[in-house]
Structure 1
């Protein structure tokens, strides 16, 4: 489980730029459009940082003959060996020196298809291939090749809560 690519854009609609390292800071990745409030959906639907699997991008290329490996997927961090939906949603996890919390799936939208300038991108990113949103819990340096380490689940545990209440009241 590791980070293989880092992408950012300084403003909404601008092409994504690849870098080998970046700093996670309060509100996102330093200089990225959503961290600075310049994202297309700012301030209404902000994902501080987005994660997508390189395996999902390979599946899109194979199944739909659409190559998004040039950053047209519009996601920030590309992972390898990580199921971002199963492993990172509702979890705290470390990448490099930063700690993130997976908050929700990031469904594709018409905007991503317009910016990619290729028909079918939105459809190709559907069905679990669109990635997830995360928020920065602890800032720090993030670099290509850094391991992705799940620290803890943040999912609501109804059974655990009921057990804790029973223990507390002695039932």
Structure 2
């Protein structure tokens, strides 16, 4: 407990594993699973909607370069809330296993594959997401919507890569 009070738990290494990656080139198009992505420093994912300037939320200035979501949260949503979130319906880019609370990455930088990323903010769901998926998606993702991260150093990321804080 004393470590937490002194802020030392922040320095502990956090690790996880990339399970799936999803992208789409336009805000309203379905996400598609890919085997590898190339990140672009200060932009996001090459070919993805927000790096390409074609994301739905661009018009409102609410841009996430890259989004992460916990595999454990997705399993909970499907099991307990009976909302289908497989195949990218969650509208997040990278599904990570092993870090149930992605907000623990707050104020941290971390590597995934060749890329160096940095926590930006949590990513709560919006009402728009269920117009693209199914009723109940916004509620299902509440407190489980993942996080936004920034690309500090570009690189490739693929399923199986380890997320590790630096």
**TM-score with structure 2 setting the length:** 0.87
Deviations 1:62-121 (A, max 9, x none): 1111121110100000000013534322210000000110110000001111111x1110
Conserved 8 A contact 1:48-1:135: yes
Gaps of 5+ in 2: 1-15
Moved over 3 A (4+): none
Measured on the aligned residues, the alpha-carbon RMSD in Å equals 1.0
Contact 2:78 2:85 in 1 (8 A): yes
Structure 1 position 22 matched with structure 2 position 37: yes
Structure of larger gyration radius: 1
- Pairing partner for 2:131 from 114, 130, 150: 114
After superposing the two structures, state which structure 1 stretch, 57-66 or 86-95, moved more.
86-95
Q: Unaligned regions of 5+ residues in structure 1, if any?
A: 152-171
Please, what TM-score do these two structures have when normalized by structure 1?
Answer: 0.84
Whether the aligned pair in 2 keeps the contact of 1:87 and 1:150 (CA below 8 Å) is no
Q: Which of 56, 62, 78 matches 1:61?
A: 78
Alignment size in residue pairs: 149
Three-state SS of the structure 2 residue aligned to 1:35 is: helix
Residue 29 of structure 2: SS of its match in structure 1? coil
| 8 Å Cα contact 1:4-1:145 kept in structure 2 | yes
Name the SS of the counterpart of 1:11 in structure 2.
coil
Query: In the TM superposition, what are the counterparts of 1:14-163 in structure 2 within 5 Å?
Result: 14-26=29-41, 27-43=43-59, 44-116=61-133, 118-127=134-143, 129-151=144-166
Counterparts of 1:22 and 1:134 in 2: how far apart (Å)?
15
